[in-house]
């Protein structure tokens, strides 16, 4: 878009003034009217969408843009024009001279804004929200970056209607461990987190979070862990702002707490009532001392010091994303001045190093601009991974690793961090042997530089164990897991989240070694510990309970396995949502358990619903959709409905062969099920052909001595025997 410099023969792009998750903002000149404007160019539509879907999105864009263009209020950014140019959607807005609230806080070195400014922002935004809510428009993404204060003191809200568009197109950032779609969790209302329908009171809650932050210097739940932030919004009463900053007037403290009520009905009913309360509070005489509040006290690693109301520190795999008062530990790219208010940001994985690392002595110091750019690209790779775009993420991390090695050296922590992520993407794209090489290198160098029991060294060694398991080297994986676990227990204690994660992985690996009782006992212990530390419905607790159910099934204790899988599925539906992959996976295992207990009628009903949901969420050819269809076919056979079972198995086998390849294990499982159906229908000659294809493929891929290959030869022998029984003279004709 920027290369053409001219959009629709009218808007000439002059210079880039902002970049974010949804696209870019340019300062431009309207050649027809001779005025300066801001042009927001949204990212191109995702190529994977079909024409009908992109058509719906374009129509949604036009509708949302018309709504935004119809808003006429001094507190709302004016939209002049919108359209599409070369496949890119664009908005033309008034060019604003000023800073958004996030930038003002950063300019103020993380100090809160003066009390008079906080009250002024509250009053102006309340008036703007009262106007937009009267038009039945809900913003859905209020945060400091979307509220501008102009040089003349006017406060404006940006991006009405665009946040929902971003979610539809797929630009909204996501949290890896939860699957909850959002921009930044620090400003989400409880009903947004729960997936409920939102109205104007959700905007009031988000605005309460904004006011809390500009009044105290930090959002109400200022935690490094995204899940803890979300649960804080949902369950934890915020500390009154005046406990952070005594000079805040009592009326403002009360207003902010009312806006942050968990139940929408307990908040002000609308923004007009909010404006009335602010006006009444301002009219009351109060003494406001002219002091500058100190920033939040920080420890030497520049992380916020724990407060009394802080939630437990849960797992570190999820990230909170950017909030107005800073970006947490570690270097991070600073985007250009986003003066027009971009919706959405890249969200970086938490950096365990805490502080930027020095360049080794004797090596030229690279330009700060280069390091900033590389950090931004590293974070972009992390975001691609969180969206499941592992191939693209791997390309980004490999390129950044090479440039960091050239600029910083092969043993620099940033270089190793990039190589660690390269290994992560390799393990997620079916290349465990290559991943093992990366992790082995990173672990060896970290051990030499940081020590054998440094958390970063242990993280690399734990990933080594994971990919060893992927390679079927479960004994080697067991040895590495056991050593890492011992080190974690010494350094962190037996119930630290990282220690529990390692114990969970060890329990999983024990089941693959055939030590089912040991696996069950360890998984049960880890599930109980995680419930104590993280909560009964935390995703990590539910993952371990899922493993407990698996062990129960392997031990033949299917009634207990069924009950546990059902409990996990229900808890995941509540915590993560009914369409989250983890929820759907637990429902699949419920179907497996029902089938094992001979309750195939119930299993059929479950699988049909699951297939519908998988198809809607992932598409008809997704491996998990096909897995559910395979389960449907198996249970059709158990009910003696072999013609239907054979048709289902053949269809699934054909799709798997096309999508996964003819020798993929899932394809071969489907082909074997085709053979089973043919046998039950008495077509032993056709069944024999299928059994032989499966046996030869498994021998070719796994080796002649592999248990699956031997089982396939047994299937072939059984088929020969049954065919001989069905046609006694056949054996003499061969």
Report the binding-site residues for ATP.
Answer: 40
Q: For 523, left (φ over 0), alpha (ψ -120 to 50), or beta?
A: alpha
**Largest interatomic CA distance in the chain:** 109
Is 540 an active-site residue?
no
CA distance 118 to 170: 34
Both tokens of 374, joined, read 């590389």
Task: Give the count of beta carbons closer than 10 Å to the beta carbon of residue 290.
Answer: 8
Number of H helices, E strands in the chain: 27, 9
Task: Give the count of beta carbons closer than 10 Å to the beta carbon of residue 497.
Answer: 21
CA distance 267 to 711: 65
Both tokens of 671, joined, read 């082909």
CB–CB of 378/418 below 8 Å? yes
Phi, psi of 25 (to 5 degrees): -120, 130
Phi, psi of 273 (to 5 degrees): -65, -35
What lies within 8 Å, CB to CB, of 580 at 6+ separation is 178, 179, 572, 573
Beta strands in 47-105 (DSSP E): 79-85, 88-94, 98-100
β-strands 11-19, 6-7 pairing: antiparallel
Task: Give the count of beta carbons closer than 10 Å to the beta carbon of residue 529.
Answer: 20
What lies within 8 Å, CB to CB, of 6 at 6+ separation is 12, 13, 31
* DSSP assignment letter at 187: G
CA distance 663 to 658: 11
CB–CB of 75/155 below 8 Å? yes
What DSSP string runs through 300-345?
TTSPBPPPTTPPP---SSS----BTTB--SS--PPPP--TT--S--
Task: Give the count of beta carbons closer than 10 Å to the beta carbon of residue 431.
Answer: 17
What length is written for the chain?
A: 734
* Residues forming a β-bridge with 185: none
Catalytic residue among 30, 81, 107, 141: 141
Both tokens of 428, joined, read 């997620």
Q: For 728, left (φ over 0), alpha (ψ -120 to 50), or beta?
A: alpha
What's the burial of 734, exposed, middle or buried (CB within 10 Å: 0-12/13-18/19+)?
Answer: exposed
What lies within 8 Å, CB to CB, of 708 at 6+ separation is 698, 702
Run of H or E including 285: none
Task: Give the count of beta carbons closer than 10 Å to the beta carbon of residue 367.
Answer: 10
CA distance 644 to 652: 12
Range list of H helices, 429-538: 432-450, 455-470, 474-492, 497-512, 516-534
CB–CB of 565/597 below 8 Å? no
User: Which amino acids are annotated catalytic?
Assistant: 141
């Amino acid at each position: 878009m920027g290369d053409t410099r001219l959009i629709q023969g009218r808007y000439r792009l002059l210079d880039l003034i902002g970049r974010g998750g949804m696209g870019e903002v340019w300062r431009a000149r309207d050649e027809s009217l001779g005025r300066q404007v801001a042009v927001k160019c949204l990212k191109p539509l995702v190529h994977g969408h079909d024409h009908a879907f992109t058509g719906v999105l374009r129509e949604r864009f036009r509708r949302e843009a018309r709504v935004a263009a119809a808003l006429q209020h001094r507190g709302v950014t004016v939209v002049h024009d919108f359209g599409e140019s070369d496949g890119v959607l664009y908005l033309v807005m008034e060019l604003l001279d000023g800073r958004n609230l996030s930038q003002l806080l950063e300019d103020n070195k993380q100090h809160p804004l003066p009390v008079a400014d906080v009250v002024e922002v509250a009053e102006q935004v309340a008036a703007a929200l009262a106007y937009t809510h009267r038009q039945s428009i809900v913003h859905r993404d209020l945060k400091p970056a979307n509220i501008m204060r102009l040089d003349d003191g006017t406060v404006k809200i940006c991006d009405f209607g665009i946040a929902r568009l971003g979610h539809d197109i797929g630009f909204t950032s996501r949290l890896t461990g939860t699957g909850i779609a959002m921009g930044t969790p620090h400003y989400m209302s409880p009903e947004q987190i729960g997936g409920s329908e939102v109205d104007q009171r959700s905007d009031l809650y988000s605005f309460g979070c904004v006011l809390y932050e500009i009044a105290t210097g930090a959002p109400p739940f200022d935690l490094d862990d995204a899940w803890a932030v979300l649960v804080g919004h949902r369950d934890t009463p915020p500390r009154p702002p005046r406990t952070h900053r005594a000079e805040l007037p009592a009326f403002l403290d009360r207003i902010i707490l009312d806006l942050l009520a968990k139940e929408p009905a307990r908040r002000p009913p609308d923004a007009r009532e909010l404006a009335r309360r602010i006006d009444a509070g301002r009219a009351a005489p109060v003494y406001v001392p002219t002091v500058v509040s100190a920033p939040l006290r920080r420890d030497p690693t520049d992380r916020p010091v724990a407060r009394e109301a802080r939630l437990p520190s849960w797992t570190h795999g999820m990230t909170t994303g950017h909030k107005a008062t800073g970006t947490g530990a570690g270097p991070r790219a600073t985007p250009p001045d986003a003066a027009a208010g971009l919706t959405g940001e890249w969200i970086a994985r938490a950096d365990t190093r805490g502080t930027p690392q020095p360049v080794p002595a004797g090596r030229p110091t690279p330009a700060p601009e280069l390091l900033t750019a590389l950090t931004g690209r590293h974070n972009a790779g992390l975001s691609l991974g969180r969206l499941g775009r592992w191939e693209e993420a791997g390309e980004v991390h490999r390129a950044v690793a090479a440039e960091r090695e050239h600029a910083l050296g092969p043993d620099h922590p940033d270089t190793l961090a990039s190589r660690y992520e390269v290994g992560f993407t390799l393990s997620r794209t079916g290349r465990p042997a290559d991943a093992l090489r990366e992790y082995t290198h990173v672990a060896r160098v970290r051990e030499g530089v940081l020590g054998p029991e440094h958390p970063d060294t242990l993280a690399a060694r734990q990933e080594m164990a994971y990919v060893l398991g992927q390679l079927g080297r479960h004994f080697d994986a067991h040895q590495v897991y056991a050593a890492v676990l011992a080190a974690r227990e010494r350094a962190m204690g037996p119930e630290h989240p990282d220690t529990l994660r390692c114990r969970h992985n060890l329990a999983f690996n024990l089941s693959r070694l055939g030590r089912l009782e040991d696996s069950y006992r360890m998984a049960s212990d880890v599930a109980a510990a995680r419930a104590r530390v993280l909560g009964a419905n935390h995703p990590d607790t539910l993952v371990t309970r899922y493993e407990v159910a698996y062990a129960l099934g392997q031990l033949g204790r299917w009634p207990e396995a069924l009950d546990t899988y059902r409990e996990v599925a229900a808890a995941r539906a509540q915590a993560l949502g009914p369409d989250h992959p983890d929820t759907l996976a637990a429902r699949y295992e419920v179907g497996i358990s029902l089938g094992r207990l001979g309750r195939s009628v119930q299993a059929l009903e479950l699988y049909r619903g699951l297939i519908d949901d998988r198809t809607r969420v992932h598409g008809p050819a997704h491996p998990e959709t096909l897995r559910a269809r395979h389960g449907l076919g198996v249970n059709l056979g158990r009910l003696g409905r072999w013609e239907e079972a054979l048709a289902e198995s053949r269809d699934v086998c054909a799709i798997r062969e096309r999508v996964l390849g003819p020798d993929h294990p899932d394809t071969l499982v489907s082909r074997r099920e085709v053979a089973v159906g043919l046998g039950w229908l008495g077509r032993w000659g056709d069944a024999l052909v299928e059994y032989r294809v499966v046996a030869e493929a498994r021998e070719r891929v796994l080796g002649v001595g592999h248990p699956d290959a031997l089982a396939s030869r047994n299937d072939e022998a059984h088929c020969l025997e049954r065919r001989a029984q069905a046609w006694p003279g056949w054996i003499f004709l061969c």
